[in-house]
């Protein structure tokens, strides 16, 4: 891998005018870069923009839910007379916002954004490689991601509006343009965007797997890898095995929409017309979708768990408790996640016996998850905890992972799911366990590795304010939703005023919405801190957190090929924090074992 020394100046000071003089290097350095560190920044910044859009959408529809029918100038300002006449969101726009919010959050922020950023940044750096196995595929992966992001956002502006059938886009609703306005052009764009997105994920995923398996430096045995590497490896494997199934589901749906096939359609009468298609089954789509969909939630979650393992161990100045058990539970969760998809289908009319099998497999996942939670907590026990913003977010992650995971036990139980399926209880569950946990993990990662990415430090005090506001508002939004759901309030409802039996819980809605608005606004602290620190943050030292892993042995200023000299050799595991045999409270992986010292 060619290490070209002229690329090693600091980032951020290159202005457009300056770049003009040596255009080629600007383009190949910042735009069509094949360097994993630059690609990781490209992913992160794209994901941040997508995240801003998704949060704004959620605030738009939370305004409607909190104060149904009330007029908000801001809605009219952003959405215009078509979607928000007189400042009131209309029903179709509501469903489109919810759908695109969910799609962007799950796929663009927490799959493309989270894996794309941290797999790219950390894999070569933590295993001791000069770059990804294929820089070119890596670059393509980003460009597919960007193209699919642009198409997804553009779909908000087409005639008829964006896809509106929920992020799961179940046919026949999504297959028939006459079923709702969002099933027209908006839906076609949604499907095209997803195809590109999957292409991006596959290119990235294959690259991550190959790199981890083949390019580890001398001494970096699999069993010495930091847990981030294990998490990212299993995530990539899940993606490579399950995303192709999503593509097939999507392609069949495109055919049903455009070419008169009937994979998912049968016996339909709509808009005054009996359709010509028979023999398909809408349930086929659900099986295909959730075969990806469930692993997908772990694709979102595992990188966050990997990041927090790293951050918690470093900042508790203690080895992660039960390294082997942690690896084992990542593997177990990864494996089990492929055989539980049916828990999304208990009330579809699927054979109840098959339902029983899925109850069993799903509840098994609780065991490795519990092991992980207890191991985190034991890592904190008798530690020496340094509260960096990254550490705060990681502690927050453990809390949301536990709180949200517990309600999963109820949803996994088919007999109980019958009454809470598709209610706000589900919305509460997945936002806490997947949404909050993964976002916390991602933010922890940004705060922790910002010095590695940009060579500067983020502001700690702003980080503190950001964390506490986000934690309080996050729980403030999603915890009450459990009760709204248990009282029988369905999700994807534009308004609840039609149901008298729900009136008494609906006074929670303005409270939830208020938390959502404050929590959304609190993200400005982060955005400011992030962009300000890129240019003006304190210049970082080489190893600011006193960390053991290899990425902190590279120079602060990025060089192509990561290490100016030879790639260091690894002699020990990543978790020798406060090892009594050493003076310092950390022992980097490159330090050879003392004579007589037992390595892990």
Partner 1 sequence: MKLLILLVGVLAIIAIAQLTKVYELTRSMRKTREEDISPADNKLQANLMLVWMFLFFAGVIYLYSAYGDYLPEAASVHGAQVDSLMSINIWMITIVFFIVNFLLFYFSYKYYFRKDRKARFFAHDNRLEMIWTLVPGVTMAFIIVYGLITWNNMTGPASADAIQIEVYSKQFGWIVRYPGDNKTFGSATYNLIDPSTNPLGMVTRENIQEKVDAIDEQIESLKKEIEANAKLPIWPDSYLESQQEKLYRLSRDKQRILDLNETKNPTTGLSEWEAGADDKIINTEMHVPVGKEVEFIFRSQDVIHSAYMPHFRAQMNTVPGVPTRFKMTPTITTAEMRNKLGNDEFDYILLCNKVCGVSHYNMKIKVIVEDEKDYIAWLEKQKTYVAPAEKEESSPTTDSTTVTTIVVPNNKVVAENK
Tell the smallest beta-carbon distance from residue 385 to ligand HEM (Å): 26
Q: Which does 110 bind (CB under 5 to 8 A by kind): ligand HEM, partner 1, Cu ion, none?
A: ligand HEM
Report how far residue 16's alpha carbon sits from residue 468's, in angstroms, rounded to the nearest whole number: 38
Q: Does 520 bind ligand HEM (CB under 6 A)?
A: yes
* Residue 279: Cβ within 10 Å count: 9
From the list 304, 223, 316, 217, the residue with the least C-alpha distance to 553 is 217
Using CB under 6 A, pick the residue from 30, 49, 78, 167 that binds ligand HEM.
167
Which positions from 269 to 298 touch Cu ion by CB under 5 A, shown as an x/- string? -------------------------x----
Binds 294: which of partner 1, Cu ion, ligand HEM, none (CB < 5-8 Å by kind) = Cu ion
Token duo for residue 387: 């509260």
Least separation in angstroms between CB 324 and ligand HEM: 30
- State both tokens at 368: 């490795």
115 binds, among partner 1, Cu ion, ligand HEM, none (CB under 5 to 8 A by kind): none
CB of 416 to ligand HEM, least distance (A): 19
For residues 276-335, which are near ligand HEM according to CB under 6 A? none
Looking at the Cβ atoms of 204 and 485, the one nearer to ligand HEM is 485
Which one of ligand HEM, partner 1, Cu ion, none interacts with residue 62, CB within 5 to 8 A by kind?
ligand HEM
The per-residue DSSP string of 229-279 comes to: HHHHHHHHHHHHHHHHHHHHHHHHHHHHHHS---SS--S-EETTEE-S--S
Contact (CB, 8 A) for 114 and 438: yes
Residue 320 sits at the vertex; the CA angle it makes with 316 and 325, to the nearest 5 degrees, is 155
Q: Using CA atoms, how far apart are residues 456 and 45, in angstroms rounded to an integer?
A: 16
Q: How far is the C-alpha of 291 from the C-alpha of 594, rounded, in Å?
A: 49
Does residue 101 belong to the site contacting ligand HEM (CB under 6 A)? yes
Q: Is 516 a residue that touches ligand HEM (CB under 6 A)?
A: yes
480, two tokens:
């009450």
Cβ proximity to ligand HEM, 55 vs 458, nearer residue: 55
User: Cα separations (Å) of 570 from 326, 563, 573?
Assistant: 21, 14, 8
Sign of torsion, CA 297 300 304 305?
Answer: positive
Binding residues for partner 1 restricted to 203-262, rule: CB under 8 A:
none
| Comparison of 222 and 270: residue with beta carbon closer to partner 1 | 270
Q: Which parts of 60-99 interact with partner 1 (CB under 8 A)?
A: 73-74, 77, 91-92, 95
> Near ligand HEM by CB under 6 A, which window of 26-34, 35-43, 95-103, 255-263?
95-103
> Chain centroid to CA 287: how far?
22
Which residues of the shown chain bind ligand HEM in the complex (CB under 6 A)?
55, 58, 62, 98-99, 101-102, 105-106, 110, 166-167, 427, 431, 434-435, 439, 477, 491-492, 516, 520
């Amino acid at each position: 891998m060619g290490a070209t020394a002229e690329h090693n100046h600091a980032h951020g000071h290159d202005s457009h005018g300056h770049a003009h003089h040596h255009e080629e290097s600007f383009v190949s350095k910042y735009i069509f870069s094949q360097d994993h560190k630059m690609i990781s920044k490209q992913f992160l910044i794209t994901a941040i923009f997508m995240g801003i859009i998704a949060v704004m959408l959620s605030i738009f529809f939370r305004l409607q839910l909190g104060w149904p029918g009330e007029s908000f100038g801001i809605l009219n300002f952003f959405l215009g007379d078509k979607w928000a006449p007189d400042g009131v969101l209309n029903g179709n726009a509501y469903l489109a916002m919810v759908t695109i919010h969910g799609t962007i959050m799950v796929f663009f922020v927490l799959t493309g954004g989270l894996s794309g950023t941290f797999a790219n940044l950390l894999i070569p750096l933590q295993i001791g490689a000069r770059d990804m196995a294929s820089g070119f595929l890596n670059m393509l992966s980003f460009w597919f991601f960007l193209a699919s992001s642009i198409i997804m956002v553009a779909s908000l502006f087409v005639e008829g509006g964006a896809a509106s059938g929920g992020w799961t886009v179940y046919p026949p609703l999504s297959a028939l343009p006459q079923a709702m306005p969002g099933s027209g052009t908006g839906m076609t764009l949604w499907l095209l965007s997803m195809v590109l997105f999957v292409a991006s994920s596959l290119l990235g995923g294959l690259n991550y797997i190959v790199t981890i398996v083949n390019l580890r430096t001398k001494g970096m045995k699999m069993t010495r890898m930091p847990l981030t590497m294990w998490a990212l490896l299993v995530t990539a494997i899940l993606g490579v095995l399950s995303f192709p199934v999503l593509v097939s589901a999507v392609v069949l749906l495109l055919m049903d929409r455009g070419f008169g096939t009937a994979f998912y359609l049968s016996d339909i009468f709509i808009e005054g017309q009996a359709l010509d298609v028979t023999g398909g089954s809408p349930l086929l789509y659900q099986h295909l979708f959730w075969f990806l969909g469930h692993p997908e939630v772990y694709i979102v979650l595992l990188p966050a768990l990997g990041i927090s393992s790293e951050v918690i161990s470093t900042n508790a100045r203690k080895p992660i408790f039960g390294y082997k058990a942690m690896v084992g539970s990542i593997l177990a969760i990864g494996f089990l996640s492929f055989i539980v998809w049916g828990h999304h289908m208990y009330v579809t009319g699927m054979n109840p016996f098959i339902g029983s099998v899925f109850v069993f497999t799903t509840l098994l996942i609780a065991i490795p998850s519990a092991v992980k939670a207890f191991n985190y907590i034991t890592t904190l026990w008798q530690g020496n905890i340094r509260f960096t913003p990254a550490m705060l977010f990681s502690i927050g992650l453990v809390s949301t992972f536990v709180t949200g995971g517990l309600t999963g036990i109820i949803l996994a139980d088919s007999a109980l799911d019958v009454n809470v399926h598709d209610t706000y209880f589900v919305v509460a569950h997945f936002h806490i366990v997947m949404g909050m946990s993964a976002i916390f993990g991602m933010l922890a990662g940004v705060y922790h590795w910002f010095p590695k990415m940009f060579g500067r430090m983020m502001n700690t005090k702003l980080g503190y304010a950001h964390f506490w506001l986000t934690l309080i508002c996050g729980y403030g939004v999603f915890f009450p939703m459990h009760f709204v759901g248990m009282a029988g309030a369905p999700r994807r409802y534009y308004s609840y005023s039609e149901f008298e039996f729900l009136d008494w819980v609906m006074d929670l809605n303005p409270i939830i919405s208020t938390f959502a608005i404050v929590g959304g606004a609190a993200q400005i602290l982060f955005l400011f801190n992030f962009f300000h620190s890129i240019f003006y943050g304190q210049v970082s030292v080489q190893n600011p957190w006193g960390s053991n892993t290899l990425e902190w042995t590279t120079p602060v200023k990025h060089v192509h090929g990561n290490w100016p000299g030879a790639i260091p050799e690894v002699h020990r595991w990543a978790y020798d924090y406060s090892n009594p045999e050493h003076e310092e409270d950390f022992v980097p992986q490159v330090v050879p074992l003392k004579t007589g010292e037992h390595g892990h």
